[in-house]
Chain A
Amino acid sequence: MPNSDIKNVQSLLLGENNELITDAVRKDARNIVGEVVTEAIHDRQAKDGSLVKTIAPMMENAISQSIENNKATFVDAMYPVVGSLVRKSVSVFFNSFLEKLNHLIEYSLTLKGIKWRIAAWRQGVSFTQYILKQTFVYRVEDVLLIHKTSGTLLLDVAAEQSECNDPELTSAMLTAINDFMMDSFKHNEEVILDTIKTQELTLVLANSPKAILVAAVSGIPPVELQTHLQQTLDDIHQLYFTELDEFVGDTAPFIKTESHLRSCLLSELNQSEQEKKAPWLAIALLAILMLPLSYLGFQQWKTQQVVNALMAMPTTPGLHLESVETDSGNILLTIMRDPVAVHTKSWLASNELDLANIVIIEKRFASLAPEVIHLKAQKILGNTEFKFHIEGNELRLTGGNSRQLSNQLLSELNSIPGINQLNTAAVRPIRQPQMSENQAATLLFDQLKKELASLTITFDKQSADIASNMLPFVVSAKVHILNLIQLAKQLSVPIGIVISGYSDSTGNQAQNLALSQQRAEQVKLSLVAEGVPNNMLHAVGIGEVPFAQVEFEARAVMFSLISLSPQNQARNAND
């Protein structure tokens, strides 16, 4: 059949450009490919592994793009893996740290460690080397892959703490020795060294036409090592034949043989060394180190607990917690306390606090809390028939009778800080036996004079300022003085108030005198500001009160009233 006819028949059957066939296939392409795609991929990968190479870059792109677009999905997917990875790496780190620490202690602190040190020194080797020698039956220190003809080192891997320096020169020299051997013994065929022994090391060699694999071994190498080396070298030789054959100096392609070489870093532990299991020494040392730390921590925690409890304690009238500080295990508690309030120690004890390491610093103050005022009034009126009721600043008395209402009682009630007014309207009046108005005024005058003399305003060290807790006493002094002036006028008795300032006996005497003067002046100023006439007051500094036992009370200001007694008064009138 002529060629043109065949072509005609072909175009009739298959179409002009085979489109009849390709169209038919295309219509069903999805099904056809779909049926075999998995097997086809599998077969191709098995055949030449090209699939991985083709897909890998695509997958890398796809993953990086996917991460860029939706990070959260990836984070979620990776989360469980990353967590366990981190845990694993931390635990590996910790284990190896413990192991190293254990070795360190074992070889430096124990009797065996000292013995070994002496032995190492006697043999003139480093302690590390000696330990290795004692610990291992044998250990491969270094593995060298050498290009056979040039003696160039292609790659070397060393065990931990190995001390092989300059593997390049070792490789070259080994080749040179081989060459020298062949020349010296006139061998025409190849001479193959298979072991070289020194006191410390044995070099075990495996040979192939293009390369030499050398293992530097300490201890006694087993026979299997040589076999293993030979097998490894054969593998390398097979895989890298071209690179070895065409080698002219570039060692880069042989970096990939590292895993092969690493597989030759074999070792065998001494029987006694193998028995070791847990690193007890390290654990014990760590525990000993941790003990004082945890004790300190516990003490700190206990103190903090007490501090927290103190801060959280409910307040009690008349007690004011100023500050809580800790100082080397002790707790410094600064507290302001009204004299009638509950004692600090019993207050702490009632809150179930251990007083063992609490140092209490107490400051006096007059509390204006209703409960405290009530308590003070109760104390004064406890033995009388009176009942009382306090509302705001006013104290209302009920019960009893006016005869029982002595001046002393009234002035005591009056001097309670926080009480400004006394209401005695509800007290049953009983006609007093006749007493002249003057007599009554004289009695009250004397009473108030006594009370004024008993008022003391105390000061902080080296200070002439009136502390806020002393203000109620100043006010009390004012009330007394104004009443006294009033009564004196009534009785026509000339009076004057001397305000005397004192200081304690520590420090410079001259300065103390000045300080005592300042204190008196300061109180005088306050009284004048409160409305006491200036010409009635005389401030004077007395200086030191040399009683160390009453140091606190010595830093004070006191009041004295000077008046003429009736006899002198008469004489005065005659003058």
Chain B
Amino acid sequence: MISLKICLIGGSAVGKTSLVRRFVDGIFSEKYLTTIGVKIDKKQIDFDESAVQLLVWDIEGTDKFSGFNPRYLNGAAAYIVVLDQSRPDTLEDAISLYQQAKVVSQSPAYLVINKSDLPSKLTQIQLDSLADFEFSHVITTSAKAGDNVEKLFELIAKQASMECEPNGE
């Protein structure tokens, strides 16, 4: 069995917990609850021949000033940086957190632009600037509508589990 640790980081109220709930339980709630410390969930994804178990670490929302506990990223197979497209300032938080994370983790990073069900307030320049960073993928999602959420985690599971496969000589 492949067991992978995946971390979610991002500014406050960008929808990290909602993404996890949508993925793990298949539900969405309008109610906002702030996460303190870290919340861990698990879900198994079945592929044709194998199964991968994801342990999703939902780390409390932080901004560029406060930072987060980098130890939480230890041993993560991948991490997801989340921003809210209806609040352009969360992009700044995301980039800042990504840069902090990069120092402690060499694992692939995925950028998630969440809340695609709301009108985007990101400018084209902002979007273009993302190309300067080395994200493995940039994906637009909606935890509320469920768009791309499943796909996001499947993509991460598939790529990360490929790393696990025994390499040849």
Mark A residues whose CB is within 8 Å of B. Answer: 147-153, 166, 168-169, 172-173, 175-176, 179-180, 182-183, 248-252
Contacts and interface: CB of A to CB of B under 8 A. Distances in A.
A173 B42 CA distance: 12
Contacts of B38: 176, 179-180
A151 B3 CA distance: 10
Q: Which 3 A-B pairs have the closest CB atoms?
A: A150-B75, A149-B75, A179-B71
B81 interface: no
A277 B41 CA distance: 46
A173 B38 CA distance: 8
Contacts of B3: 152-153, 168, 249-251
Contacts of B160: 248-249
20 contacts: A147-B75, A150-B76, A151-B55, A151-B75, A152-B55, A168-B42, A169-B40, A172-B5, A172-B55, A176-B38, A179-B72, A179-B74, A183-B69, A183-B71, A248-B77, A248-B164, A249-B4, A249-B52, A249-B77, A250-B3
Most buried by B among A148, A149, A168, A248: A248
B37 A176 contact: yes
B74 to A, nearest CB: 4
Contacts of A250: 1-3, 164
Contact of A180 (B1, B5, B37, B53): B37
A168 B55 contact: yes
Given A172-B5, A252-B1, 18 more contacts: A148-B75, A149-B74, A150-B76, A151-B55, A152-B5, A153-B3, A166-B42, A168-B53, A172-B55, A172-B57, A175-B74, A176-B40, A176-B72, A179-B69, A180-B37, A248-B160, A249-B4, A250-B1
Interface in B1-39: 1-5, 37-38
Contacts of B37: 176, 180
Nearest to B41: A169
Contacts of B42: 166, 168-169, 172
A190 to B, nearest CB: 10
B71 A251 contact: no
Interface in B56-98: 57, 69, 71-72, 74-77
Contact of B71 (A168, A172, A182): A182
Contacts of B140: none
Interface of B: 1-5, 37-38, 40-42, 52-53, 55, 57, 69, 71-72, 74-77, 160-161, 163-164
A150 B161 contact: no
Contacts of A169: 40-42, 55
A541 B105 CA distance: 118
A180 B57 CA distance: 13
Contact of A251 (B2, B57, B75, B76): B2
Nearest to B4: A249
Contacts of B1: 250-252
Contacts of A179: 38, 69, 71-72, 74
B23 to A, nearest CB: 15
A182 B37 CA distance: 13
A84 to B, nearest CB: 39
Contacts of B55: 151-152, 168-169, 172
Nearest to A176: B38
B74 A150 contact: yes
Nearest to A248: B164
Nearest to A168: B42
Contacts of B74: 149-151, 175, 179
Contacts of B52: 249
Contacts of B161: 249
Nearest to A171: B55
A183 B62 CA distance: 15
Contacts of A180: 37-38, 69
Contact of A152 (B41, B71, B75): B75
B40 A172 contact: yes
A153 B42 CA distance: 12
Nearest to A172: B40
A172 B72 CA distance: 10
B68 to A, nearest CB: 9
A227 to B, nearest CB: 27
B31 to A, nearest CB: 23
Contacts of B77: 150, 248-249
A152 B69 CA distance: 18
A575 B52 CA distance: 129
A250 B160 CA distance: 11
Contacts of A149: 74-75
A214 to B, nearest CB: 16
Contacts of A182: 71
Nearest to A152: B3
Nearest to B75: A150
Most buried by B among A153, A169, A176, A183: A176
A183 B164 CA distance: 30
Contacts of A172: 5, 40, 42, 55, 57
A176 B60 CA distance: 12
Contacts of A148: 75
A182 B72 CA distance: 11
A251 B44 CA distance: 14
Most buried by A among B2, B40, B42, B69: B40
Nearest to B160: A249
Contacts of B40: 169, 172-173, 176
B72 A248 contact: no
Given A153-B3, A172-B57, A180-B38, A248 B163 contact: yes
Contacts of A153: 3
Contacts of A252: 1
